[in-house]
Amino acid sequence: MATGNAKTVDVNGISYRWPSKPVVVVCIDGGDPAYLRQFLADGAIPNIARFMRQGFATIADGTVPSFTCPNNMSIITGTPASKHGISGNYYLDTATGEAVVMTGPELLRGDTILARFAAAGAKVVSITAKDKLRKQLGKNLDLTRGNVSFSSERADKCTLAENGIENVLELVGMPLPDMYSMELSLFVLEAGVKLLERGHRDLMYLSLTDYVQHKYAPAESEARRFYQELDQRFGRLEALGAVVALTADHGMNDKSDAAGKPNVIWLQDILDARFGKGDTTVICPITDAFVAHHGALGGFVRVWCRGRTTPEQVIAAVRDIKGLESVLDKETACAVHDLPHDREADVVVIAAADVCVGGSAAAHDLSGLAGHRLRTHGGVSEAKVPIILSAPLNDEYKLKAGATTLKSYQIFDLALNGVAQ
Ligand SMILES: [Zn+2]
């Protein structure tokens, strides 16, 4: 590079330019483009509208399955799931037959952009709403030199040794938020604002939670209030001199019928009835410790053949079920959706936009919906996400963005290399 500020950091085969201004990347969890359309139309999000006018905006392809962990890992590594290895919140360890939670940093392959920049001397901040993501986001991140990694969920328990920061509630000026609240996300952004004010000026990754989008459709006033609160904080981040880059991990679709009853295909029950109990194992990779707002139902499940039944038999048995968008064998699923082969199931089942797939009806607790329609994600139909930058692209990246559909995991590339400086 011929410019004076030629320092770059290489991560997983991509060279990232050293930021000349603070760069704040925000993952609006469950930030379906439909919310932006609604609130842009009614003028509720003036800062985002301004970013779109003065900067850059497009709809990008997220990682499939359109779940939180795979997409967050794609974003912070700049790679597809086939490279970073995190293809769900859960997978089946075929050696033990146990479902394994995929949030351990040891399961994440390759380096994160955050850790590599920190190692090169940048001041890096990583904040997430739910603690489940924190350790992977903070993989190999050196927290002894002023870098910060914590979650809203455990903001009251931060220590210098574990998080690189303490007294977070005082810093942010908010009480510890409830796990099922919009404040859990707002806390992340408020913390980002406060840290930016205090001079954490290089690279920031702020990852929210999709509680509001699971619960409220774009037309509902609670969703509007949430987006207004987000928008106000995005404006403050930009006013502090940051390049603000917004994307989402996945979208969100209503998956209930006209009467409000969830459209669910209970796949484990269907397979057990056809092949006998224990012969196949359905894993719902949306599952985490906090599922009241979606009952662990999503648009993408995996089937492992544990007994005599073959993948071909499973595919033949479920292929024609109404409401499924695709039923794929392992090879095809890995090829089409760029997934890691060693963690893939024998059969991948993806639902249509208005349908979700579960395991066994008895294993899913839907009481947490408490009268709300089921809104969830996971399939291809929830993999379209926005990318919005507060600053315009340079000519090279304008051409790139015009020639192809961007991937959401290019957000750091866009914000660091693509912004006109
Ligand atoms: Zn999510």
**Burial 112-136, CB ≥16 within 10 A → b, else e:** bbbbbbbbbebbbbbbbbbbbbbbb
pLDDT for 291 beyond 90: no
How many angstroms does the Cα of residue 63 sit away from the middle of ligand 1? 11
Token duo for residue 283: 């894993």
How many angstroms does the Cα of residue 38 sit away from the middle of ligand 1? 20
pLDDT for 2 beyond 50: no
Q: How many CB atoms lie within 10 A of CB 372?
A: 16
- DSSP classification of residue 303: E
Concatenated DSSP letters of 245-257: EEE-S---EE-B-
pLDDT for 382 beyond 70: yes
Q: Which of 101, 103, 92, 91 is nearest to 132 (CA)?
A: 103
Q: How many CB atoms lie within 10 A of CB 183?
A: 18
What's the pLDDT at 341? 96
Concatenated DSSP letters of 129-164: SSGGGHHHHTTT--TTSS-EEEESTTGGG--HHHHS
What percent of the chain is predicted at pLDDT more than 70? 97
Q: Please state, rounded to an integer, the average pLDDT across all residues of the chain.
A: 94
How many angstroms does the Cα of residue 39 sit away from the middle of ligand 1? 20
Question: Which tens digits make up the pLDDT trace of 13-34?
Answer: 999 999 999 999 999 999 999 9
Question: Which tens digits make up the pLDDT trace of 67-86?
Answer: 999 999 999 999 999 999 99
pLDDT for 138 beyond 50: yes
How many angstroms does the Cα of residue 5 sit away from the middle of ligand 1? 36
What's the pLDDT at 175? 98
What is the Cα–Cα distance from 185 to 38, expressed in whole angstroms?
Answer: 20
- List, as ranges, residues with CB under 5 A of the ion ligand 1: 29, 68, 210, 249
pLDDT for 354 beyond 70: yes
How many angstroms does the Cα of residue 263 sit away from the middle of ligand 1? 20
Report the Cα–Cα distance between both ends of the chain, in Å, rounded. 14
How many angstroms does the Cα of residue 319 sit away from the middle of ligand 1? 27
Question: Which tens digits make up the pLDDT trace of 195-230?
Answer: 999 987 799 999 999 999 999 999 999 999 999 999
Token duo for residue 217: 């459709």
Peptide bond between residue 177 and the one before it cis (omega within 30 degrees of 0): no
How many angstroms does the Cα of residue 304 sit away from the middle of ligand 1? 24
pLDDT for 1 beyond 60: no
Higher model confidence: residue 239 or residue 371? 239
How many angstroms does the Cα of residue 166 sit away from the middle of ligand 1? 27
How many angstroms does the Cα of residue 249 sit away from the middle of ligand 1? 6
Q: How far is CA 378 from CA 27, 150, 360, 397, in A?
A: 16, 26, 18, 29
State the pairing for strand pair 300-305/14-17.
Answer: unpaired
How many angstroms does the Cα of residue 29 sit away from the middle of ligand 1? 4
- DSSP classification of residue 26: E
Q: Who contacts 147 (Cβ-Cβ below 8 Å, separation ≥6)?
A: 118, 123, 124, 125, 141, 164
Contact yes or no for 299/350 (Cβ under 8 A)? yes
Q: Is 404 left (phi over 0), alpha (psi -120 to 50) or beta?
A: beta
pLDDT for 287 beyond 80: no
pLDDT for 379 beyond 90: yes
How many angstroms does the Cα of residue 130 sit away from the middle of ligand 1? 10
What's the pLDDT at 339? 98
How many angstroms does the Cα of residue 144 sit away from the middle of ligand 1? 29
pLDDT for 289 beyond 70: no
How many angstroms does the Cα of residue 205 sit away from the middle of ligand 1? 15
Q: Which of 116, 106, 119, 136 is nearest to 27 (CA)?
A: 136
How many angstroms does the Cα of residue 192 sit away from the middle of ligand 1? 19
How many angstroms does the Cα of residue 377 sit away from the middle of ligand 1? 8
How many angstroms does the Cα of residue 27 sit away from the middle of ligand 1? 9
How many angstroms does the Cα of residue 296 sit away from the middle of ligand 1? 12
pLDDT for 290 beyond 80: no
pLDDT for 401 beyond 90: yes
Banded model confidence at residue 303, pLDDT cuts 50, 70, 90 = very high
Residue range 315-324: mean pLDDT, rounded: 97
How many angstroms does the Cα of residue 67 sit away from the middle of ligand 1? 5
How many angstroms does the Cα of residue 28 sit away from the middle of ligand 1? 8
Higher model confidence: residue 117 or residue 371? 117
Contact yes or no for 34/134 (Cβ under 8 A)? no
What is the Cα–Cα distance from 125 to 40, expressed in whole angstroms?
Answer: 29
State the pairing for strand pair 148-151/253-254.
Answer: unpaired
3-state helix, strand, coil in the chain (%, to 5): 35, 20, 40
How many angstroms does the Cα of residue 295 sit away from the middle of ligand 1? 14
How many angstroms does the Cα of residue 75 sit away from the middle of ligand 1? 12
How many angstroms does the Cα of residue 300 sit away from the middle of ligand 1? 14
Residue matched to tokens 């060279």: 15
Concatenated DSSP letters of 319-355: TT-TTEEEEEEHHHHHHHHT--GGG--SEEEEE-TT-
Banded model confidence at residue 4, pLDDT cuts 50, 70, 90 = very low
